[in-house]
Amino acid sequence: MERAPFSAAYVENSDSVSDIDSENESTDLQQSEPEIETSRINAITRAVEKGSEAVVSIMATEPVRRQETPRDEFFRFFFGDQFPQENTSMGSGFIVSEDGLVVTNQHVVGTNPSEIMISMGDGSTYDAQLVGFDELTDIALIRIESDTTFPFLDLTDSDDVIVGEWSIALGNPFGLFDDGQPTVTVGVVSAKNRDFRADPNNPRVYIDMIQTDAAINRGNSGGPLLNSNGEVIGMNTFIYTGGTSAGFVGLSFAIPSNRIEKIISQLLTSGVVMLDYDPGMEFTSMTEQLIYRYQLPYVQGLLVTSVNRNGPAFECGILPGDVIVRIGEERVMSEMHAWALLRDYDVGDDMNIELIREGDLYQTEMKLRQKVKDTTSN
């Protein structure tokens, strides 16, 4: 009984089956690698890829404004001119048009920059010019000096932002932009319509801010806050530390895109931000001196100092000496805060006002219209 041929055949078949199995395993691995790679791509990675090209690093140089003193002259005589002549600030921004319009925070570029340098994600650099700024809302618009066509980001309706949805912060914290790519941090929208009252020593007023737990640090200012579609819902502006440190503690705030769009459209048109209506009155912040001098109620608000007889304020019954305590749904804290609130209204709107007169609380509705020349004032 000859078994060798069978054995040889068996071994032969066995080797061929093993080869087939190895080939199948290799093919399966090759097929699984693209699948694994694809599975890592999600809404966040797509949004980052879409937004990164339009994020820029900004370096602004501004002359130092100093008031000379005799002591300065004394030290200059012996030690020479060793005082700093310029301040350099660094932050982030994002391109909003193909011809190189860039949005950033006003505190990034200052009020009178002598030089603005833009660095792109691909390592290229450009000079830029300040188009205009609004210190009150902390928004600035600059233009890259180049004929290049740039990638840009779209602003979406910030009123549609959902608390709990993904929020993606892009920017250049601490100036770490040498690798050509912005830093990405991810969180969720924690809250909407957060207001920060005016600081008497700070002209900026932040209202309707978007709160997020995406980490924002020094240098992130001016960068975009994106949703998972890669659209701008806000501009990263500041963090709240609660007095515990100078770093991130989970509370970051962004200026909503609707406010950005409204401000930059005016900056692009005229370089400044102005109301398209005249409330027809002048007012000032309530102070302890005014309260004691005129025996006014001890409240925060606005003291109406004059009223135009041809304006909306007079038509709705406001008189000099009234104390305005609320505009719309907002409690008025100061004159600067009031001007920030007035930015949210346009010609044709009805503005609800709450005021105190001789100890009594009144409500009135002001219909806003175009400015009328003041012929007589109270």
Alpha-carbon distances, residue 278 vs 211, 305, 330 (angstroms)? 32, 15, 20
Catalytic one of 57, 92, 107, 252: 107
Q: Is 107 a catalytic residue?
A: yes
Separation CA 90–CA 116 (nearest Å): 10
What is the biggest distance separating any 2 CA atoms in the chain, rounded to whole angstroms?
A: 130
Nearest of 315, 312, 314, 319 to residue 368 by alpha carbon: 312
Alpha-carbon distances, residue 370 vs 205, 275, 277, 317, 334 (angstroms)? 25, 10, 5, 18, 25
What token pair was written down for 361?
A: 């609380």
Q: E strands within 150-216? A: 166-171, 183-196, 206-212
Catalytic one of 57, 221, 252, 285: 221
Angle at the Cα of 122 from the Cα atoms of 119 and 126, rounded to 5 degrees: 30
Contact between 219 and 236 (Cβ < 8 Å):
no
What token pair was written down for 169?
A: 């912060």
The single-letter code of the amino acid at 71 is: R
Catalytic one of 138, 208, 278, 322: 138
What token pair was written down for 248?
A: 């991130």
Q: Is 221 a catalytic residue?
A: yes
Q: What is the DSSP string of 7-52?
A: HHHHHHHHHHHHHHHHHHHHHHHHHHHHHHHHHT--HHHHHHHHHH
Q: Is 146 a catalytic residue?
A: no
Catalytic residues: 107, 138, 221
